[in-house]
Structure 1
Amino acid sequence: MPSARFPAKRRLPRVRSSPAEGRWRHSREAGLEPDVLVIGGGNAALCAALMAREAGASVLLLEAAPRAWRGGNSAHTRNLRCMHDAPQDVLVDAYPEEEFWQDLLKVTGGITNEHLARLTIRASSTCRDWMRRHGVRFQPPLSGALHVARTNAFFMGGGKALVNAYYRSAERLGVAVRYEAPVDRLELKDGHFVAAHLRGGERIAARACVLAAGGFESNRDWLRAAWGQNGRGEWPADNFLIRGTAFNQGVLLRHLLDEQRADGIGDPTQAHMVAIDARAPLYDGGICTRIDCVSLGVVVNREAHRFYDEGEDFWPKRYAIWGRLVAQQPGQIAYSIIDSQAIGRFMPPVFPGVKADSLPELARRLGLDETTFMQTLSHYNAACRVGHFDHTTLDDCHTEGVSPAKTHWARPIEAAPFYGYALRPGVTFTYLGLKTDHTAAVRFNDRASENLFVAGEMMAGNVLGKGYTAGVGMSIGTAFGRIAGANAAAAAMKRGARHAGA
């Protein structure tokens, strides 16, 4: 029986050839091996590959996905949370280090490594010029995202454009790229990287390696083992949807933790988990499936009861708690309820909501018990103390005498037509990962490897013990991708010089 941390392995597609692979095979036939091997194909992996190449190292990047699906979850992103002490092009006002740190401290509940968190924060203030040099362009936020105009820099064209820009830059600089090249295991000696073994049995040696192959959010067996069975006899993970790539199976993460006994960090049930439209696809639904109207109305579970404060804080700071909240409800489903007053105040999702001219009709159309639903809405409406409604501030509209309270943006739901959205937990990425330090080195028995480094989702749990705030995943991936790439290049050069002198 697989454990929560280490479930049984899952088969992935076989390795297939590509033009990039053909070029690399030619160099192998000439007796060449890369200085730096990067395993992964998203933002963190690409940052590592680019930094290593800029430092003079030869680099091979292995992406498990086909070319059309390259980029992992990074293809679904849209912005980067950035520290800045004054207005900077697309960023308004200031977002100083201490405020960024306090935001992160609040959402993680203190489950974070302050040293690595502050390293990430400081790095976010200096990375954008480097990103521009590699073809990334930024734009002001769209009207539906003005509430993060001060804290987040948006990519022109979104994450897919960012990923494509990085791949173009990598190819221009001479980084070799292979697609459909999943790595099954690593060959290590006393914590030192020796070689990677691909699914088909091919062995690739290198002087240094960067691991940036993502978490295990796409591995249903692992999610099921981690979450287990709840008191209602349900397996919550069976109802999870995956917001991003189907290729993040956690194969290398499990191999490092289980077989190689690398130092791990994090809870396997903690993740960036968002409440998304229940009609979303199993994989790769992306940001357009997120339901952003939660703070403008109420959320009820399958039994038509409210279960959490919908107005606790600004949506960018709290949206990533709602997937976990829904996962804890009966059937892992909930319903976001709004009225016509909310329309135009949130980013519309890809699917229209269920529409009704009355609340009883909405209950029936959603399949909820009409009597209980009307009691819940009546109690909420009567409890609302409406002051000056302003969704851009922590306003004074709140409830009194109802539990759970709604602490901001509380207005009676009374203006027809009414809308309802069925919600499911949408997993973005998991937080169980490899323990690291400021060098991005993988650690074994609390000792840093000299030539094996980690970046992105595989180490994000060092900074994110739980919770999330918009754009910080890209901040972590960019910071540690660049650190890992630079240090891998230095390690490769050091090992090369040592061998040359032998």
Structure 2
Amino acid sequence: MDTDVLVIGGGNAALCAALMAREAGMRVLLLESAPRAWRGGNSAHTRNLRCMHDAPQDVLVEAYPEEEYWQDLLKVTGGLTDEHLARLVIRASSTCRDWMRRHGVHFQPPLSGALHVARTNAFFMGGGKALVNAYFRSAEALGVEIRYEAPVERLEIEDGRFVAAWCDGQRITAKSCVLAAGGFESNREWLREAWGQNARGEWPSDNFLIRGTAYNQGVLLRHMLEEHQADRIGDPTQAHMVAIDARAPLYDGGICTRIDCVSLGVVVNREAERFYDEGEDFWPKRYAIWGRLVAQQPGQVAYSIIDAKAIGRFMPPVFPGIVADSLPELGQKLGLDAGTFMQTMERYNAACRVGKFDHTALDDCHTEGVAPAKTHWARPIDTAPYYGYALRPGVTFTYLGLKVDDTAAVRFAGQASRNLFVAGEMMAGNVLGKGYTAGVGMSIGTAFGRIAGRNAALAAQGRPAVAGAVQD
């Protein structure tokens, strides 16, 4: 064999798997499709992971118990989640930080202010780039072999058992394998295929921007689903999709392109009409629905409108907003129909019932007599200067993936493979059927990356996989 455990991918889940397998004494080869400078996949753009805890901990305040975490996930997914696997992730999130620290990850003190997540999320010092760099350094120090610019085109699988991978014409054999090569969000043709054409013959997905890596082409995912008929899960149109600045680059814009002021104002489409409740819930629980909402609007564009009262209450974006001294001037600068825009704004302002405004709580500021309603944080937009941000759908990762059980094994016709495992975006759809809540993607990748790495090591030793999360 060329190696004991082959790991395909270079993000958080892949690195967790490689580190676990190497800690178990296995020879490990990791194949990263990107060049070294762009390593880490979408994990390089992250900031935190969502953590369960029953009492204040090192970098987390108060408590965030299992049941509350589960209810938050249940709400955003609308029930499209495997409760057993979701609770596995939730419980694993409470114990992983010490292991992460042993591999060089540092956490920053609890955050306060506009993010509302000091209780629920542990933030990496230096963000996701620092995290993946720490993991790569640890992997190299432990003796994991790493190859960059090494995309895998296909796998040899016999009777559900991994045999070999083909990379740049080379056949690589291993006793076991972990797939952690990401989704298909960077594959423009696959996005077209998934989203189709609208009634005008346009391709909505052509207007999508990709928040993360350009290297998640979904080649291995499609190969597994079509050539090997692996069990699948998820809707190809469901994704972690955020409303981002329309001026963002096509790839790798990351978190700084996100527009976080949606809940503090109103959002209108190209026809200058509102289309959804901007105050439905806290931003960390609802930010990832707005990309899909914008994707369903004409031209896949919308505009977030705020006034001076909102400034200082949200994370400022990298691009400044369009500024005006009056609402008519702002509508004109944004290219919106003046009459419709002013009618929309006047109706909203007149409908506001302002109570005790508190952007850190589900307050009683709401609208009456206007559709859609705004259920919290509704205040008239009436204080100059006014700001507008053009929005586009920003895709982070897709939810179509491989169905798994609590061993992280790939399944074929309902039967778990004995030596082929999957982690990260390639299986996140088991937990995320739709929707998102901040930090849960890294929780899934960390939990299942470690499970997959542990079980790949056991498979390489000829031993059966163990169900459940890794116990430190």
TM-score (normalised: structure 2): 0.97
Partner residue of 2:7 out of 23, 34, 38: 38
Structure 2 gaps, min length 5? 465-472
Residues 59-138 of structure 1 aligned to structure 2 (within 5 Å): 59-138=28-107
SS in 2 for 1:415: coil
Query: What residue number does 1:371 align with?
Result: 339
Query: What residue number does 2:289 align with?
Result: 321
CA distance in 2, matches of 1:314, 1:147: 8
Aligned-partner residue type, residue 493 of structure 1:
Q
CA distance in 2, matches of 1:194, 1:353: 53
Q: CA deviation at 1:167?
A: 0.3
Partner residue of 1:279 out of 240, 247, 265: 247
CA distance in 1, matches of 2:156, 2:463: 17
Q: Is the 8 A contact 2:115 2:314 kept in 1?
A: no
Q: CA deviation at 1:231?
A: 2.6
Query: What residue number does 1:190 align with?
Result: 159
Q: Is the 8 A contact 1:37 1:61 kept in 2?
A: yes
SS in 2 for 1:355: strand
Query: What residue number does 2:322 align with?
Result: 354
Aligned-partner residue type, residue 449 of structure 2:
G
Query: What residue number does 1:165 align with?
Result: 134
CA distance in 2, matches of 1:165, 1:246: 22
CA distance in 2, matches of 1:458, 1:145: 32
Query: What residue number does 2:144 align with?
Result: 175
Q: Is the 8 A contact 1:144 1:347 kept in 2?
A: no
Query: What residue number does 1:471 align with?
Result: 439
CA distance in 2, matches of 1:46, 1:207: 18
Q: Is the 8 A contact 2:61 2:110 kept in 1?
A: no
Identity %: 85
CA distance in 2, matches of 1:111, 1:160: 30
1:460 aligns with 2:446: no
Partner residue of 1:299 out of 246, 255, 267: 267
SS in 1 for 2:360: coil
Aligned-partner residue type, residue 128 of structure 1:
R
1:57 aligns with 2:58: no
SS in 2 for 1:167: helix
Q: Is the 8 A contact 1:116 1:463 kept in 2?
A: yes
1:229 aligns with 2:188: no
TM-score (normalised: structure 1): 0.92
Aligned-partner residue type, residue 123 of structure 2:
F
Query: What residue number does 2:408 align with?
Result: 440
Aligned-partner residue type, residue 27 of structure 2:
S
CA distance in 2, matches of 1:92, 1:232: 51
Structure 1 gaps, min length 5? 1-31, 497-502
CA distance in 2, matches of 1:412, 1:364: 20
Aligned-partner residue type, residue 332 of structure 1:
Q
Aligned-partner residue type, residue 319 of structure 1:
Y
1:243 aligns with 2:217: no
Q: CA deviation at 1:391?
A: 0.4
CA distance in 2, matches of 1:288, 1:221: 26
CA distance in 2, matches of 1:243, 1:230: 24
Q: CA deviation at 1:142?
A: 4.3
Q: CA deviation at 1:140?
A: 2.4
Q: Is the 8 A contact 1:191 1:444 kept in 2?
A: yes
Q: Is the 8 A contact 2:32 2:146 kept in 1?
A: yes
Query: What residue number does 2:467 align with?
Result: none
CA RMSD in angstroms comes to 1.0
SS in 2 for 1:138: coil
SS in 2 for 1:209: strand
Query: What residue number does 2:119 align with?
Result: 150
1:390 aligns with 2:358: yes
Aligned-partner residue type, residue 253 of structure 1:
L
Q: Is the 8 A contact 1:289 1:349 kept in 2?
A: yes
SS in 2 for 1:91: coil
Aligned-partner residue type, residue 193 of structure 1:
F
SS in 1 for 2:293: helix
**C-alpha distance 114-495 of structure 1, shift in aligned 2 (>3 A):** closer
Q: Is the 8 A contact 1:100 1:121 kept in 2?
A: yes
CA distance in 2, matches of 1:485, 1:152: 24
Q: CA deviation at 1:236?
A: 0.7
Query: What residue number does 1:26 align with?
Result: none
Report the more deviating stretch, 143-152 or 359-368: 143-152
Q: CA deviation at 1:232?
A: 3.8
Q: CA deviation at 1:89?
A: 1.2
CA distance in 2, matches of 1:66, 1:157: 21
Query: What residue number does 1:6 align with?
Result: none
Structure 1's consecutive aligned runs of 4 or more residues displaced over 3 angstroms after TM superposition are: 141-146
Q: Is the 8 A contact 2:246 2:392 kept in 1?
A: yes
Aligned residue-pair number: 464
Q: CA deviation at 1:230?
A: 1.6
CA distance in 1, matches of 2:201, 2:115: 43
CA distance in 2, matches of 1:315, 1:412: 19
Q: CA deviation at 1:143?
A: 4.3
Query: What residue number does 1:270 align with?
Result: 238
For residues 414-449 of structure 1, the C-alpha deviation after alignment (integer angstroms, 9 at most, x for no partner) is 000000000000000000000000000000000000
CA distance in 2, matches of 1:450, 1:142: 43
CA distance in 1, matches of 2:385, 2:110: 29
For residues 71-122 of structure 1, the C-alpha deviation after alignment (integer angstroms, 9 at most, x for no partner) is 0000000000000000001100000000000000000000000000000000
Aligned-partner residue type, residue 265 of structure 2:
G
Query: What residue number does 1:344 align with?
Result: 312
For residues 258-284 of structure 1, the C-alpha deviation after alignment (integer angstroms, 9 at most, x for no partner) is 000000000000000000000000000
